Amino acid sequence: MAATLSPGSTAPLFISDFEGAMFFDSPQEGGGVFAVGQEDQTNIFIFGDGNDVAAGGNEVDILMGGAGDDNIQGAGGSDFVFGGLGDDIVRGGLGDDVVVGNEGSDVLI
């Protein structure tokens, strides 16, 4: 599933009861996506260039930030959390997590 907001849109995007991977891209520089994973399934979030905020669920999650300044948390489960480009805050949460930064001034927790 892919979610894209139109340029200049200020409307929030709410998606629930999904299965599989979610690909998010913010169409404007500095914009971003706020996403919270489903608690009882594996969540795969891949973000674009915006300043994104995301949290996984209680299962194994794969959360990948893009070029923006992202704030990403794995939550429960053994997660892979990747900050991407930009100045990111990357948290593993509970479980045996892999937490990775990239270019930029990242904070890895």
pLDDT, residue 37, reads 75
Dihedral sign computed on CA atoms, order 68, 8, 4, 59: positive
pLDDT, residue 106, reads 93
Place of tokens 């904070």: 107
Q: Identify which of 33, 36, 39 has the alpha carbon closest to the alpha carbon of residue 5.
A: 33
Domain boundaries, the chain: 21-26+34-101
pLDDT, residue 99, reads 95
Residue ranges of the chain whose pLDDT lies below 50:
none
pTM, two decimals, is: 0.76
Q: Cα–Cα distance between 42 and 47 in angstroms, integer?
A: 16
- 104: which 2 tokens? 């930029």
pLDDT, residue 91, reads 94
pLDDT, residue 2, reads 52
* Secondary structure E strands in the chain: 2-4, 21-25, 34-36, 44-47, 53-55, 62-64, 71-73, 80-82, 89-91, 98-100, 107-108
Tally of residues, the chain: 109
